[in-house]
Amino acid sequence: MSVPAAVFASGGGSNLGALLEYERRHEGAGYRIELVVSDREEAGAITRARSAGRDAEVVPTGTRPDEDVTPELLALLERSGVEAIFLAGYLRLLPGELVRRFQGRILNVHPALLPAFGGKGMYGLRVHRAVLEQGSRVTGVTVHFVNEVYDEGAVLAQWPVPVRSGDTPESLAARVLSVEHVLYPLSADHLGRALSKGRQPSPLDPFSELFLLGLDPPEYELGHQIRRAFGYT
């Protein structure tokens, strides 16, 4: 059973693309994207959603107070029967009332290993710049539940990504993004399946062989190293 879902995005929407593609390739996926919401008419995510034949709505936020935005968002979600929300590069903090209504049903993807390199203002290339400035050798992707504070909800899945010598913020962003495109749809599927059985999901185990098979060789090899380090056979 697929859970009807909405994707919220402010930017290019490559994660939305990955979610749509996963849904297309997996007939029994745990979610179906019924609605895409953006705060910007010119967001690539809007074009992407419409060309995939999905309902796409622009809800400008800007300086509008939550009391104004919340009913509009809730009406759209209700109209599409949405039961789960996936944030994919949505740069606004969701109104508190919406977060409370969908508690345990909203995911976000962040391009680092939270709680490191997260919080207000940490998005896009700023994250990868900070990772390089810090001299970290490992970064990664975090999929987490959304609560009322930026990047602070419980973690559903994490995947490490190596920092290589000579990396620029752009090269690191591209490596991390390719892992987001694998981890986010798997996490969304996992949540959808759990919700359709009336359960909350257990944390996703990205070191399982099944998960690793979806990865490109460098991350696949890294995954195996981590499996061995954690004593998986």
Give the nearer residue to ligand GRF in terms of CB position, either 177 or 224: 177
Instruction: Confirm whether 110 is a catalytic residue.
Output: yes
CB of 123 to ligand GRF, least distance (A): 6
Q: What Cα–Cα distance (Å) separates residue 101 from each residue in 1, 136, 152, 201, 210?
A: 22, 37, 18, 18, 33
Is the Cβ of residue 9 or residue 82 nearer to ligand GRF in the bound state?
Answer: 9
Contacts to ligand GRF from residues 17-76, by CB under 6 A: none
CA 132 to chain centre: 22
Q: Which listed range, 77-85, 109-117, 201-209, 217-225, lies at the site for ligand GRF (CB under 6 A)?
A: 109-117
Q: Which of 26, 110, 190, 224 is catalytic?
A: 110
Enclosing H/E stretch for 50 = helix 44-51
By the rule CB under 6 A, 88 interacts with ligand GRF: yes
Side chain identity at 145, as an amino acid letter?
F
**Residues binding ligand GRF: number (CB under 6 A):** 14
201 contributes a contact to ligand GRF by CB under 6 A: no
For residue 148, give Cα distances in angstroms to 10, 74, 97, 98, 215: 18, 16, 9, 10, 32
Q: Which one, 111 or 160, has the nearer CB to ligand GRF?
A: 111
What is the C-alpha to C-alpha distance for residues 15 and 157, in angstroms, rounded to an integer?
A: 16
Contacting residues for 115 by C-beta, under 8 A, at least 6 apart: 151, 152
Q: Pick the stretch among 7-15, 52-60, 76-84, 192-200 that binds ligand GRF (CB under 6 A).
A: 7-15
Residue 15 in the binding site for ligand GRF (CB under 6 A): yes
Determine, following the binding rule CB under 6 A, whether residue 109 of this chain makes contact with ligand GRF.
yes
* Nearest to 36, CA basis, from 21, 53, 61: 53
Q: Which of residues 111-170 bind ligand GRF (CB under 6 A)?
A: 111, 123
Interaction with ligand GRF in 168-187: which residues (CB under 6 A)?
177, 180
HSE-up (13 A, CA, CB side) for residue 54: 27
Distance CA 121, CA 116 (A): 13
Query: Where do contacts with ligand GRF occur on this chain (CB under 6 A)?
Result: 9, 11-15, 88-89, 109-111, 123, 177, 180
